[in-house]
Amino acid sequence: MNNQPSHKCNFCHSPLHHLVTDLGVQPLCEDKIRVEDLTKMEPHFPLQVYVCKKCFLVQTPAVVSPEIIYRDYAYYSSYSDTWVQHAKQYVDYVSERFAITPKHLVAEIASNDGYLLQFFKQKGVPVLGIDPSTEIAQYAEREKGIKTEVKFFGYETAKYLVETYGKANLIIGNNVLAHVPDINDFLKGMKYFLAEGGLITMEFPHLERLIEENQFDTIYHEHFSYFSFTTVKEIFKSYGLCLFDVQQLKTHGGSIRIHACHQGDTSKPISQAVHDLLKHEHELGMDTLAYYDHFNNKVKETKRKILEFLIKAKRENKQVVGYGAPGKGNTLLNYCGVRTDFLDYTVDINPHKQGNFLPGTHIPIHHPDKIKETKPDYVFILPWNLKDEIINYNKYIYEWGGKFVVPIPELMILNNHQE
């Protein structure tokens, strides 16, 4: 452990020495590999996770710049019905609880293709998206009429936004906080951008679920940080922002939604849920280094079980194909060394991914109809957090005796009697 490279904490800048897990050297998980790129050199970067001994922020040291990561970002939120429905429910909830009206400005950081802001727009509420991907921002404006600034969010961007649009009454950030390489600049920007009496809500996978349920595939270069509620509360506090409420969600394998306001905003009292979750994390030991010491062994054992299943299936001449082409799937496949020798192909409903190949493994991505053509024995679900939606849409594989395989938190083989 002492021979690890010298890194510093993304938040408090303390030296990072305590390794949580090492997933080897991997490509960027959201890269699109086109046919003409198959013979070209593909950049790979170390994928290691550390925990800070001072603030207990779990993090992947930045080894590649965000500009490279998001140059050709292919994730479109609207292609998941489950995620769009979750966004709609959130808009209804926050609009009712905090009385969001057409007099307010709602801004979303990492607004993607407008999947969420479209529901505020339908209510007549002014909206603004901020997203670093030009392609996705153009899609949001063209297809959904969502004004989107193509920028990385931080303090300088916040100053520009305030000068151009004024301060935001509601700032939303769903699954963006983990993607921030400079969390201090990001928090400084949110503090400046938030109107007096305003509200910030952010959702992100809960670190407890990652550790307890062995969700190592949610680790990738695009995710710089992995948050406990205890640590994120201290980060926000250091920038004059108070976390006054928290909700636990089922999304992405187990997430939390935090509610923040300016320190001293007496209109938003601190809920019991805040005290309860802080107590729960302390009892688990999430504010100790020892809590993270056994994760690496659990990761290795999961790899062994996945490979044991695939080796047995192929020796029995069974066809195994993938479903989905998510970032988490690419972390899992590259760490386990799974290529077309084990997974013939994968499918994805996103047309922007079809016809391309997965990074690192070069597994081809087809339209979901390919499954009906080849009738595989097993469909390996890579976005396991959407397994219920995927199984429901693809029950026809049971017609020829096909089965679904879910790798996380424990490898499971599901037939039509085991859903």
Q: Which long-range contacts (CB under 8 A, 24 or more apart) does 365-368 make?
A: 365/325, 368/323, 368/394
Q: Which residue has the tokens 């590999």?
A: 33
d(CA 69, CA 34): 16
- Distance (Å) of CA 309 to CA 271, 284, 338, 343, 344: 46, 32, 12, 12, 15
| Domain architecture of the chain: domains with CATH | 77-292 (3.40.50.150), 306-414 (3.40.50.720)
Q: Decide if 58 contacts 20 (C-beta within 8 A).
A: yes
Q: What is the pLDDT of residue 82?
A: 77
d(CA 231, CA 184): 13
d(CA 196, CA 189): 14
Q: What is the pLDDT of residues 170-216, one digit of tens each?
A: 999 998 999 898 999 999 999 999 999 999 999 999 999 999 999 99
Distance of CA 292 to the CA centre of its chain: 20
Q: What is the pLDDT of residues 289-340, one digit of tens each?
A: 999 999 999 999 999 999 999 999 999 999 999 999 998 999 999 999 999 9
Q: Which two tokens stand for residue 390?
A: 């995927």
Q: Decide if 51 contacts 362 (C-beta within 8 A).
A: no
Q: Name the stretches of the chain with pLDDT < 50.
A: 1-3
Q: Which two tokens stand for residue 97?
A: 């609880």
d(CA 228, CA 331): 22
Is the bond preceding 383 in cis, omega lying within 30 degrees of 0?
no
Q: Which residue has the tokens 């397994």?
A: 387
- In 3D space, the residue among 171, 184, 242 whose CA is nearest the CA of residue 57 turns out to be 184
d(CA 2, CA 212): 26
Contacts of 36 (CB under 8 A, 6+ apart): none
d(CA 281, CA 74): 35
d(CA 331, CA 409): 15
Q: What is the pLDDT of residue 61?
A: 86
pTM: 0.87
Q: Which two tokens stand for residue 398?
A: 């049971």
Q: What is the pLDDT of residue 222?
A: 85
Cβ neighbours around 287 below 10 Å, total:
14
Q: What is the pLDDT of residue 2?
A: 42
